[in-house]
């Protein structure tokens, strides 16, 4: 089906290899900790996280319910989790494994066209590469949430983060604050990926490769993992800066302070 490149180059075999590793890591961790201990800063427990992952994977096998806004997505997540009732973690993990096998049958590397367009939340469309990397992100980010509460190590490789960002850059326009009135142009430079342009204008966001010279307000150079964690609200801006998300140029670099007010929380 030809080579794929957007934020990064990849193929279906790589994506599925990394999905498999991430899913196995998540299942092993989620099945080994106290099922009903609340995660730090959350009302969810590890059992709830497993249930959430099950509902996410079902969207690949049964079709998604799409939210018009980020807060609609929160509601959908809560409703779908509640629909699982009080089923135990072990039963949910078993069903998650079954659903993942079905996802591979439907979206497997031998049949997957990474350029296929797919509707997503917030009225945006993404390609199938983004949809697949979203699975990597779900397993690794929620695995990290559980690991941090349990005091266990949880590494996220930069290559996984680059692949996740390939999807995030397509999803971000759905998270633009629609009431924002300011304009902001940010060039993002991540090792192992193409330079990227985020162009905020009057509550809308254009997210695209920085293929030609642009006059930008801010240039950000970032390690992939730190940027990914920042965009998923797992790091504060100060924490992200300590881990390698740095402003390195631009005409008005101080305008980076506007960025949090221009993106909805995920």
Residues 117 and 202 in one domain: no
For residue 257, the enclosing domain spans 176-262
Q: For the purposes of burial, counting CB atoms within 10 Å of the CB of 156, is it exposed (0-12), middle (13-18) or buried (19 or more)?
A: buried
pLDDT for res 212 = 77
Question: What CATH code is carried by the domain that includes residue 128?
Answer: 1.20.120.450
Q: Which of 132, 154, 170 corresponds to the end of one domain?
A: 170
Residues 19 and 140 in one domain: yes
Residues 38 and 160 in one domain: yes
Residues 127 and 43 in one domain: yes
Residues 53 and 123 in one domain: yes
pLDDT for res 2 = 64
| Domain count along the chain | 2
Residues 15 and 119 in one domain: yes
Return the structure tokens found at 253: 């670099």
pLDDT for res 1 = 57
Residue by residue, DSSP assigns the chain as ---EESSSEE-HHHHHHHHHHHHHHHHHHHTTS-TTPPPTT-S--HHHHHHHHHHHHHHHHH-PPPPSSHHHHHHHHHHHHHTTTT--HHHHHHHHHHHHHHHHHHH-TTT--TT-EEE-GGG-EEEHHHHHHHHHHHHHHHHHHHHHHHT------HHHHHHHHHHHHHHGGGGB-TT---EEEEEEE-TTS--EEEEEETTEEEEEE--S----SEEEEE-HHHHHHHHTTSS-HHHHHHTTEEEEE-SSGGGGGGHHHHB---
* Segments in the chain below pLDDT 50: none
Q: Which of 118, 152, 170 corresponds to the end of one domain?
A: 170
Residues 101 and 124 in one domain: yes
pLDDT for res 211 = 85
Residues 35 and 95 in one domain: yes
Q: Which of 170, 196, 217 corresponds to the end of one domain?
A: 170
| Residue 61 contacts residue 53 (beta carbons within 8 Å) | no
pLDDT for res 3 = 84
**CA 140 and chain centroid, separation:** 9
Question: What CATH code is carried by the domain that includes residue 232?
Answer: 3.30.1050.10
pLDDT for res 78 = 97
Residues 207 and 164 in one domain: no
Give the whole-angstrom CA distance, residue 137 versus residue 19.
9
Beta-carbon-side half-sphere exposure of residue 38 (alpha carbons within 13 Å): 4
pLDDT for res 219 = 97
Residues 102 and 229 in one domain: no
Residues 18 and 113 in one domain: yes
Residues 144 and 29 in one domain: yes
């Amino acid at each position: 089906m030809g080579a794929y490149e957007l934020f990064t180059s990849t193929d279906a075999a790589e994506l599925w290899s990394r999905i498999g590793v991430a899913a196995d890591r998540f299942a092993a961790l989620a099945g080994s900790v106290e099922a009903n201990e609340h995660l730090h800063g959350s009302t969810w427990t590890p059992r709830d996280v497993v249930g959430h992952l099950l509902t996410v994977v079902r969207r690949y096998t049964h079709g998604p319910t799409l939210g018009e806004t980020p807060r609609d997505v929160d509601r959908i997540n809560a409703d779908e989790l509640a629909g699982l009732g009080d089923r135990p973690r072990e039963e949910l993990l078993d069903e998650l494994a079954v659903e993942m096998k079905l996802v591979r049958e439907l979206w497997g590397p031998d049949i997957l066209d990474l350029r296929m367009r797919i509707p997503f939340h917030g009225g945006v469309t993404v390609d199938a590469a983004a949809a697949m990397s979203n699975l990597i992100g779900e397993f690794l980010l929620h695995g990290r949430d559980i690991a941090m509460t349990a005091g266990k190590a949880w590494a996220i490789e930069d290559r996984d983060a680059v692949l996740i960002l390939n999807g995030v850059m397509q999803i971000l326009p759905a998270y633009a604050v629609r009431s924002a009135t300011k304009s902001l142009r940010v060039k993002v430079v991540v090792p192992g990926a193409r330079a990227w342009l985020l162009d905020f204008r009057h509550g809308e966001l254009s997210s695209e490769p920085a293929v030609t010279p642009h006059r930008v307000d801010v240039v950000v150079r970032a390690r992939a993992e730190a940027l990914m964690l920042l965009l998923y609200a797992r790091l504060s801006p100060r924490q992200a800066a300590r881990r390698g998300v740095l402003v390195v140029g631009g005409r008005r670099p101080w305008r980076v302070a506007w960025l949090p007010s221009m993106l909805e929380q995920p």
